Structure 1
Amino acid sequence: MSVSVIQAINRICCRHVIDAEGHCPPADIFIVLPPDALGEAVLDNIKADMPGIDVKPWDFALDPAKEKKPRAGSSHSRLIEYMSRLGPGTVSLSTIQHDLQLHSVKKLRETLNDGTHPTTQVLTGLGVKYIPGVGRGSKSYLAKAA
């Protein structure tokens, strides 16, 4: 990995000799290395292969992960609103499909099976649990706790 990084650094033309002593023109190189042993090893190799390099820390922060929310007006937001108004108990997906006038619940099932999906997380926060049907012709339900 170090060899690839050093080759990439040298591709920016910082190794063009400008005088008889072998000096090169100055160049600014910004690189983000992992904050672990691998990153330290790569930096040590860069320093060893490029003597005289001036390493300085720079203020850099990765952008935070974007918070995903259900789209407004989507079937997901309508489902969340529907379940928030509903009292404790169970309701079948076919009833939800009818009440929300959904064409299909196939994608909804996929969403409900994904515990990391924003819609599923909001429903979990409301005390709603997905109970998938098992076997052909079985019904799936959403159960809301008291």
Structure 2
Amino acid sequence: MPAFTFRLQTLLDQKLEIEAKAKLAVAEKQRVLHEQEAALRSLEENEKRIERSISRTRDELLLDSVANAVADVQRRNEYLLALQQDLRTAREQTIVQKFAVEEAEMNLRDAQAYAIECFREAEKLSRYREKLKKRFLAEAAKKEELEQDEMGTTMHLTQRTGA
């Protein structure tokens, strides 16, 4: 019996390779997203730490302002202003990082959609291959059955005429 050959096997192989690359791209986009989210969490924690420092410094100024010298109060006020500037900078960095996270999420969604599309194309071609193979095997079995019938008929006729 002749072997089944799928004329579009090269195309199927290419589709499967593209699908594998698309899956790798999804994994890479997920890794980037996790890194961006970790950076965002770190910036948000830094922002909260600065807010706690500002609150603590204000409390110290209010409680100790009467007992402390003017120079000490001035130094703490300058420190408080520096902390407030740090907080503004931290908030700006957090906003920028949120945009980076959103972009990474969008890139991941795009990569996932492309991977799904690649999977469907490869799956469609694979199902077509299986359908053709099934049809080929059915036709080969039918042909073999006909050959067996012909051989049986020939043997029967040969035995009959020879007897």
TM-score band by shorter chain is under 0.3
**Structure showing greater Rg:** 2
Higher relative contact order (CA closer than 8 Å, sequence separation 6+): 2
Q: Which has the higher helix share?
A: 2
TM-score (norm. length: structure 1): 0.23
TM-score (norm. length: structure 2): 0.21
Q: Which has the higher strand share?
A: 1
